[in-house]
Amino acid sequence: MGVEGIATAIDRGGLAEWRRITRAVELDPHGEVARDLDEALTVAESPGVTATLRRTLERARLTDKERLGQDFARLVRSTGLTRSAVARHLGTSRSRLSTYETGTTTPSAVIWRRLEELARPRPVHHP
């Protein structure tokens, strides 16, 4: 596809082309398509698609632990609570919570499950 082909797909293509690029990057985050995409993103003119594909490339290049940390941090934010409150609910310290969010430490299945439960939307009861 090459840099020019990818830049053209970004600016003039559609969902089918963007999905093909995404799949190739996810399969080989440091391969030829990923390197070409990295360069094409600097010349492409479609800001929305460029931003989305940049995030795709960045996420694909994360290690499993970093990706897990990002997912954990996203769940923490979705609770709407402070980090201190989340740590208390999970039965851990705020500093340990931070290591989970960065991917430095992998949380146990129990901690992960507690966080999922804490992040689950609750129905609002009106009196």
pTM score, whole prediction: 0.62
In angstroms, the first-to-last Cα distance of the chain is 61
Question: What CATH number did the domain enclosing 110 receive?
Answer: 1.10.260.40
26 within domain boundaries: yes
Question: For residues 84 and 89, what is the distance between their CA atoms, to the nearest angstrom?
Answer: 9
Residue 14's contacts (CB-CB under 8 Å, 6 or more residues apart) are: none
Do residue 24 and residue 73 come from a single domain?
Answer: no
**Lowest model confidence (mean pLDDT) among 29-38, 63-72, 84-93, 108-117:** 63-72
Q: What's the total number of domains in the chain?
A: 2
pLDDT of residue 49: 95
- Helix ranges restricted to H, 29-82: 32-40, 47-60, 64-78
24 within domain boundaries: yes
125 within domain boundaries: no
Do residue 43 and residue 26 come from a single domain?
Answer: yes
127 within domain boundaries: no
8 Å CB contact between 44 and 10: yes
Q: What is the pLDDT of residues 25-60, one digit of tens each?
A: 999 999 999 999 999 999 999 999 999 999 999 989
pLDDT of residue 121: 86
